[in-house]
């Protein structure tokens, strides 16, 4: 069980705002905020390099905490500025050649799909979009049937930004393994609200962010690369941290996932993200998942009861992201009206989910996303506010 009173007390802004925008950026708990600001104060006092050296144990704890969260090894973890750049570092490193085919789902995140399009144009690759099944998630049978002799990669977003759908990532991992395909999993929206075990998921790469459900600072992210898969990749960028200049005309990469890192990074943010992951690990990700799922289902059900309001979440399994529209009011207008009442939500744009929204004939939709520190009273307040907008 989660001590909701305790975590709310450690999130002081709960007293001032109703925050249902955790899929955008969650609220940092006090220990995370303190970890960031303490290190910034140390940098101010003694200097950036010196503060890094003094806080080396806290810096190193980032790898330990992420490894615990993902059931991985610390040497399989890299710190990256954000989830998109983490995903890019892996995707642009793949050993692909002209004619190779990439499989993805129509719910794919816009930034990832833009990278697929760019590389398809640059390197004469082909993108095969797998349709959805009757539940709206990736169709596993269609995925199997789409695999050809030229297919090399499956790229999947675990939880799409535009709804509560949870794609069957572990089942996709098994299909990828059976077919000998590379498997990239975007866990940007699932890390921190859903249990992630890279061994069960069987992914070669997993990327995530700090600012969303992990409740870390902005400008922080991570990349997992399976140890046995590491030598398959050729990082698109290299510097004196990711590699060593071993001879005049030669260099060697770091022997671990740090080959995807940069020398210069936001150390206060890295320490803050480590503390955020530690915070989640101490609460227990299974307990977090259970509570977030329960709150998400409750909010979705309550909104479905309102006249003129329609929810649009798909999937057999759903998470804490709840999308909806109300007759006669646009999603941006709904967001602004609620913000005027000190209630934070976001909205999913058609341009961020073009394939998915085109199929479902949707425009922009409002997006509310709950977390474990939210409570039933807030759901009541929110539903009343939506009803009266």
Nearest to 82 by CA among 201, 209, 194, 270: 209
Which residue in 143, 207, 138, 141 sits closest to 181, CA to CA? Answer: 143
Helix (H) or strand (E) holding 346: strand 346-348
Q: DSSP state, 209?
A: E
Q: What is the CA radius of gyration of the chain?
A: 21
Q: Provide the CATH number for the domain around residue 290.
A: 3.90.1150.10
Tokens of 42: 């140390």
| Residue 365 three-state SS | strand
Instruction: Please identify, among 266, 282, 298, the residue that sits at the C-terminal boundary of a domain.
Output: 282
**Domain finish residue from 255, 282, 309:** 282
pLDDT tens track, the chain, 389 positions:
899 999 999 999 999 999 999 999 999 999 999 999 999 999 999 999 999 999 999 999 999 999 999 999 999 999 999 999 999 999 999 999 999 999 999 999 999 999 999 999 999 999 999 999 999 999 999 999 999 999 999 999 999 999 999 999 999 999 999 999 999 999 999 999 999 999 999 999 999 999 999 999 999 999 999 999 999 999 999 999 999 999 999 999 999 999 999 999 999 999 999 999 999 999 999 999 999 999 999 999 999 999 999 999 999 999 999 999 999 999 999 999 999 999 999 999 999 999 999 999 999 999 999 999 999 999 999 999 999 99
What was the pLDDT predicted at 29? 98
272 and 292 both lie in a single domain = no
* The pLDDT of residue 112: 97
Q: Residues 23, 58: one domain?
A: no
Same domain, 250 and 378: no
Which of 282, 315, 331 terminates a domain? The answer is: 282
Write down the pTM of the prediction: 0.97
Task: Tell me: do 121 and 195 sit in the same domain.
Answer: yes
**Do 294 and 365 lie in a common domain?**
yes
Same structural domain, 114 and 255: yes
Tokens of 119: 């590389």
Same domain flag for 275 and 321: no
Residues 18 and 66 occupy one common structural domain: no
Question: How many domains does one find in the chain?
Answer: 2
Same domain, 50 and 20: no
The boundaries of the domain holding residue 161 are 32-282
Beta strands in 16-76 (DSSP E): 18-19
- pLDDT at site 241: 96
What torsion do the CA atoms of 130, 131, 133, 139 make, to the nearest 10 degrees? -10
Q: How far is CA 245 from CA 238, 260, 343, 381, in A?
A: 11, 16, 52, 59
- Same domain for 10 and 109, yes or no, is no
Q: Kindly state whether residues 318 and 277 are assigned to the same domain.
A: no
Alpha-carbon distance 26 to 205, whole Å?
A: 24
* Burial letters 243-282, b for 16+ CB under 10 A, else e: eeeeeeeeeebbebbbbbbbeebbbbbbbbbbbbbbbbee
Tell me what pLDDT residue 180 has.
98
Residue (of 222, 170, 265) closest to 65 by Cα position: 222
How high is the pLDDT of residue 232?
A: 95
| Helix/strand/coil for 311 | strand
Give the CATH number for residue 115: 3.40.640.10
Cβ–Cβ contacts within 10 Å for residue 80, how many?
25
Residues 260 and 367 reside in one and the same domain: no
């Amino acid at each position: 069980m989660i001590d909701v009173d305790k975590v709310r007390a450690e999130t002081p802004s709960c007293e001032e705002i109703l925050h249902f925008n955790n899929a955008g950026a969650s609220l940092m708990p006090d220990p995370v905020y303190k970890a960031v600001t303490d290190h910034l104060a140390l940098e101010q006092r003694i200097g950036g390099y010196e503060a890094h050296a003094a806080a080396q144990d806290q810096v190193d704890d980032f790898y330990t905490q992420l490894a615990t969260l993902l059931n991985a090894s610390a040497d399989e973890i890299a710190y990256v500025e954000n989830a998109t750049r983490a995903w890019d570092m892996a995707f642009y490193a793949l050993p692909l050649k002209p004619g190779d085919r990439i499989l993805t789902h129509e719910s794919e995140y816009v930034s990832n799909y833009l990278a697929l399009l760019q590389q398809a144009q640059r390197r004469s690759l082909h993108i095969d979009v797998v349709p959805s099944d009757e539940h709206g998630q990736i169709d596993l049978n269609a995925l199997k049937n789409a695999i050809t002799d030229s297919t090399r990669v499956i790229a999947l977003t675990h939880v799409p930004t535009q709804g509560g759908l949870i794609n069957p990532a572990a089942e996709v991992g098994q299909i990828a393994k059976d077919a000998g395909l590379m498997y990239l999993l975007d866990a940007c929206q699932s890390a921190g609200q859903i249990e992630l075990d890279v061994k069960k998921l069987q992914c070669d790469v997993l990327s995530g962010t700090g600012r969303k459900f992990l409740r870390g600072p902005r400008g922080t992210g991570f990349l997992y690369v399976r140890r046995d898969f590491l030598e398959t990749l050729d990082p698109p960028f290299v510097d004196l941290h990711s590699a060593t200049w071993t001879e005049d005309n030669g260099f060697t990469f770091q022997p671990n996932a740090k080959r995807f890192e940069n020398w210069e990074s936001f150390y206060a943010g890295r320490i803050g993200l480590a503390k955020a992951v530690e915070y989640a690990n101490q609460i227990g990700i299974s307990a977090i998942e259970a509570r977030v799922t329960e709150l998400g289902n409750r909010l979705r059900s309550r909104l479905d009861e309102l006249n003129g309001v329609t929810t649009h979440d798909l999937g057999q399994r759903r998470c804490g992201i709840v999308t909806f529209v109300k007759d006669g009011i646009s999603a941006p207008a709904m967001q602004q009206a609620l913000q005027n009442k000190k209630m934070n939500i976001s909205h999913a744009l058609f341009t961020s989910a073009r394939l998915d929204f085109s199929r479902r004939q949707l425009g922009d939709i409002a997006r509310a996303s709950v977390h474990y520190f939210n409570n039933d009273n807030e759901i009541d307040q929110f539903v009343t506010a939506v009803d009266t907008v």
